[in-house]
Structure 1
Amino acid sequence: MRTRRTPTRAQRDATATPPQSCIVVLPSAFIPWAAPISPNSSAKAQSHQTIHPPRADPLIVSPLSRPIIASRCRHHFCYNSIYRGILTGCNDAFLVDDSTRDRLISQDHRTVEILRPILRGRDIDRYRANWAGLWLIDNHNGYNNIPPVQVTDYPAVKKHLDQYYNTLAARHDKGITPYNLRNCAYHAEFSKRKLFWMDMSDRGRFCLSDSTVFCNDKGFILTGPSLRYLCAVLNSRLVSWLMERTGLTTGMGLVQWKKFAVEAIPIPKLSAKEERPFHRLVDTILSTKDANHSADISSHQADLDRRVYQLYGLTTREIAAVSRS
């Protein structure tokens, strides 16, 4: 009588039908909340940032998505540069409105040479910014072999800043004189094509800019290739969903879109041809917003979200889970 052998676990695993879906655990380098809090952070600062562990409804990623996550993600940020906005140390002095700008120019026409439009974090919206008519007095401290601004060359600006002299002199964030801004080696990046984004928000707020515009330290900029594609993916519902569940938050529950967190978002690298559908959608949204900033772009955004779901290989069930959140 022949004895029937019980198959080993390895044999059972080899012949088993693969599951239709499974939970993929991303490497810690891909997860923003896995980054340790800096040991130099103050106790007060650490008390205002909470770490979100994964919630009870983790994203279920189909096996077809695994190659995308494993081999195609996070390549773009190797070719892009991220910088924090300008820190003045005294916004009351260095940020002026339209009426103050006009007054300074009327007193000295050369003043226009050092006035630059600037965004605050709250001014940054999806795709396009809501500029509040604020101007930066760009008394830079020198960069790329360009010498520092000499405030004596701009008497109207000096007179304006003299009102704040005691504060300017006492601040740590100053340049060679109290009238100068602190060193900023990446000053020229603000004149390039770039993405702006808000550092604390309930969802991704990434907007494109082709002109010389600055932002304050409540925002960041990203320069380099594939900006329209990155704008599309980073403004998607899926990325906001991921950041809600993996990002650091403030005491008020807003997600912190800090540099290290955005760099950790797994974004597939596409060829120029594969990026084109995303470019067309972003261009359509931009032209719509330029014609009417408050225009309804929900149908275009829904189309973009569908393309991002396809990009990551999400199943119908997975898309429904993200959409319900």
Structure 2
Amino acid sequence: MRGRDIKRYSYEWANLWLIYIPWHFPYQFDESIQGASTKAEEAFKLQYPAVYSHLLQYKESLLKRNKAETGIRYEWYAMQRWGAKYWEDFSKPKIMYPNMTKYIPFYYDEKGFYQNDKSFMITGNFVAYLTAFLNSSLFKFCFLNNFPELQGGTRELRKIFFDKIPVLQVTKEINDSFISKINDIQEKYTTQKAMEIDAMLFELYRLTEEERKTIGFVEIT
């Protein structure tokens, strides 16, 4: 998923795929393996023949990446920097968003999408509720200016700017109540559904009718 593919409560996947191969794959969890493993390569070749054959065309180039380590500490086909253990986070429920955007969109992902370097993700507790908060009119009204405006009206959504934003702490039960709403709106987006989620947040934050009007919210009838 590229940053440009992420929309508010949705995405437009461009049918792009990423080949990710950790050290010693497919025995990446075998801590007894030290250095480039012939055993791992043979298993990779047997289990994923098409991918192995594809990479074999580029073996010479891949071996030149880091001559002190490639083919020595790890196999020539491995495509991972050591220390990048956060790869498991991609399979967790997470919030995805572009690094620069005009529209400040956030998508709640349970499908295990990977991302390019033009987008970020947030993992942790209560991310369904947090997705609703970040997509809300309340968030944009109060915190849009926390993010610097760049040329063309885009905003830079970097972690250092999110760190300064206070977020109401909620319980698991409250987060669960947002999960069904998020799944529903991401199945088919409507303005009505977005307003219903906004209304739930306003109740949590105990906004008065006057404060809701200031934000520009009109009560659903």
TM-score, with length taken from structure 1: 0.50
1:131 aligns with 2:26: no
| In 2: Cα distance, 1:263 partner to 1:211 partner | 26
| In 2: Cα distance, 1:276 partner to 1:299 partner | 20
- Counterpart in 2 of 1:90? none
| In 2: Cα distance, 1:158 partner to 1:264 partner | 47
Q: CA offsets per residue over residues 249-291 of structure 1, 9 Å max, x none?
A: 33333111112222332211122333454334223213x33xx
Any idea what SS the aligned residue of 1:248 has?
coil
Any idea what SS the aligned residue of 2:9 has?
coil
Percent identity reads: 25
Any idea what SS the aligned residue of 1:215 has?
coil
| In 1: Cα distance, 2:113 partner to 2:56 partner | 23
Higher radius of gyration, 1 or 2: 1
Counterpart amino acid of 1:314? L
Matches for 1:6-155 after TM superposition, within 5 Å: 119-141=1-23, 153=45, 154-155=52-53
- Confirm or deny: 8 A CA contact 2:133 2:139 kept in the other structure: yes
Q: CA offsets per residue over residues 126-185 of structure 1, 9 Å max, x none?
A: 2232211101111334676677885984132231x469x49x849xxx996586333312
- Counterpart in 1 of 2:198? 305
Cα RMSD (Å): 3.3
Counterpart amino acid of 2:160? F
Residues 241/144 of structure 1: CA separation in 2 closer, same or farther (3 Å cut): farther
Q: What is the Cα deviation at residue 308 of structure 1?
A: 2.1
5+ unaligned residues in a row in structure 1: which ranges? Answer: 1-118, 290-295
- Confirm or deny: 8 A CA contact 2:94 2:110 kept in the other structure: yes
| In 2: Cα distance, 1:250 partner to 1:141 partner | 39
- Counterpart in 2 of 1:181? 80
Q: 1:209 aligns with which of 101, 104, 109?
A: 109
5+ unaligned residues in a row in structure 2: which ranges? Answer: 46-51
Higher relative contact order (CA 8 A, sep 6+): 1
Q: CA offsets per residue over residues 43-82 of structure 1, 9 Å max, x none?
A: xxxxxxxxxxxxxxxxxxxxxxxxxxxxxxxxxxxxxxxx
Q: 2:171 aligns with which of 271, 279, 286?
A: 271
1:319 aligns with 2:212: yes
| In 2: Cα distance, 1:202 partner to 1:323 partner | 19
Q: 1:157 aligns with which of 24, 34, 55?
A: 55
